Structure 1
């Protein structure tokens, strides 16, 4: 097989495969049905034309028959008038018309036979078309049912072209989502590790550790100061230190003593001024001591 022959064979094979994939059986059946209807219409048209031709011959035959009667009358009149010559001419024309009539009758008979054959063929073709139409509708219904069943099966199993695209879209979405989640986790991890600060700062790891230690020391010192202000710090003698409750109780005792002293001062009017001064001084000292203990 030569190159051109192989190329021609391959091209024909490709074209045939494309046509097979593009062919719709329902459309092919409808097209075949229309072709058969066109053939039936041609047969009907042929019968009509044949009938028309036969009618023309019959009309011509009737005219010839009328001429035969006419020539026959002419011959009789000529004989009655002793015109044998005219009678002879009339009879000759009559004979000619009779010959034409015989010829026309033969043609009409042939046309009748042809017409009968065409009518018979037309009836057979019409019956065939009706049978084909019934079969065509049945085949179309079966094909459409099979096609619908195939689409449903492909949708259920996910092997169809469209479902394959949908499945692939879901896979791509899942892959993209996982990629974005991994990227978000990586960003959080880099941020916690200080990698972003590394990129924005010219300090090395030692500088950052020293700064961290200095910051921790400052925080510890500030915490101790805060504890000392709130009375949470540890005293130097190892005791737990005076609590706020103890300080408040001591202040209440001082106030009770001051109230008792006030009563005595009321009884002793002469020593009132001196006692007030002493109490004020003592109260101020007590409050100072309490504040110092709280601090």
Structure 2
């Protein structure tokens, strides 16, 4: 295979592939049906032309037959008038006309055979067209049903071209959303850690930590001042000193009793409820 032959083969194959991809079976079937109808019309026109020619030959044959009868009559009249020469000429013309009639009969028979053949072909073609029409409509219905089913399946499975574009758009939207969410979370985390400085402040992280400690100390000092103003701190200290004094007195009494050799002296026990009662009395006295 030469270069030109290979190039021609490749071009034809490419064109065939393009045509196959662009071909619509419904349109192709309709076109084929119209082509068959055009062929049927051509056959009918051919039959009409043959019939016309046959009719013309038949008319010509009838005229010749009339001429033959005229020549016969001329020959009789010539014989009656003893004009054998005229009778001979009339018979010669009759013979020529008879020869032409035979040729016309042959042509008419030939046209008749062709006409009958065309009529038979026309009937067969018309029958094929009717069969093709029925099959065409059936195939078109099947193709349209298959195409609709394919579109539904592609829509359900997302395998169609349009659904692919929609699915890809959704994927891109999800990717951008996830990226924005991750960036937002990262910015929040870095902001909490103090990585980013406030654009409106000239303080760094150390300054902010010192201010936080100072603020906490100021709150504690204000709380102590408030407690002192309300007498909460003095009452607690007085209660602690009284308890220490009582414990010291008890210890001294016990030591004195032991040093005089008079034996052990039972020290009265002070319950928690009594201590709490005394503390409540002291708080009420201070508030009054």
Aligned-residue offset at 1:46: 0.6
RMSD: 3.1
Asked if structure 2 preserves the Cα contact closer than 8 Å seen for 1:155 and 1:163, the reply is: yes
Structure 1 residue ranges without an equivalent (≥5): 241-292
Asked if structure 2 preserves the Cα contact closer than 8 Å seen for 1:67 and 1:94, the reply is: yes
Aligned-residue offset at 1:8: 4.5
Change (3 A) 1:3 1:94: closer
Mean Cα deviation higher: 2-11 or 48-57: 2-11
Corresponding position of 1:73: 73
Q: Deviation digits for residues 26-73 of structure 1, max 9, x if unmatched?
A: 222222222221111111111110000001101111111222222222
Mean Cα deviation higher: 74-83 or 120-129: 74-83
Query: Which one of the candidate residues 235, 238, 242 is aligned to 2:236?
Result: 238
Change (3 A) 1:63 1:233: farther
In the alignment, the residues of structure 2 paired with residue 148 and residue 50 of structure 1 have an alpha-carbon distance, to the nearest angstrom, of 50
Corresponding position of 1:266: none
In the alignment, the residues of structure 2 paired with residue 215 and residue 78 of structure 1 have an alpha-carbon distance, to the nearest angstrom, of 162
Aligned-residue offset at 1:188: 3.2
Q: TM-score, normalization: structure 2? A: 0.70
In the alignment, the residues of structure 2 paired with residue 66 and residue 224 of structure 1 have an alpha-carbon distance, to the nearest angstrom, of 155
Q: Deviation digits for residues 176-233 of structure 1, max 9, x if unmatched?
A: 22222223333433444444434554443323333333444455556666x479x667
Change (3 A) 1:62 1:214: same
Q: TM-score, normalization: structure 1? A: 0.69
In the alignment, the residues of structure 2 paired with residue 191 and residue 119 of structure 1 have an alpha-carbon distance, to the nearest angstrom, of 97
Corresponding position of 1:29: 29
Corresponding position of 2:269: none
Corresponding position of 1:206: 206
Corresponding position of 2:38: 38
Number of equivalenced pairs: 240
Mean Cα deviation higher: 123-132 or 80-89: 80-89
Asked if structure 1 preserves the Cα contact closer than 8 Å seen for 2:194 and 2:205, the reply is: no
1:174 equivalent to 2:199? Answer: no
Asked if structure 2 preserves the Cα contact closer than 8 Å seen for 1:224 and 1:233, the reply is: no
Aligned-residue offset at 1:104: 0.7
In the alignment, the residues of structure 2 paired with residue 8 and residue 118 of structure 1 have an alpha-carbon distance, to the nearest angstrom, of 39
Corresponding position of 2:266: none
Q: Deviation digits for residues 62-91 of structure 1, max 9, x if unmatched?
A: 111222222222233333333333333222
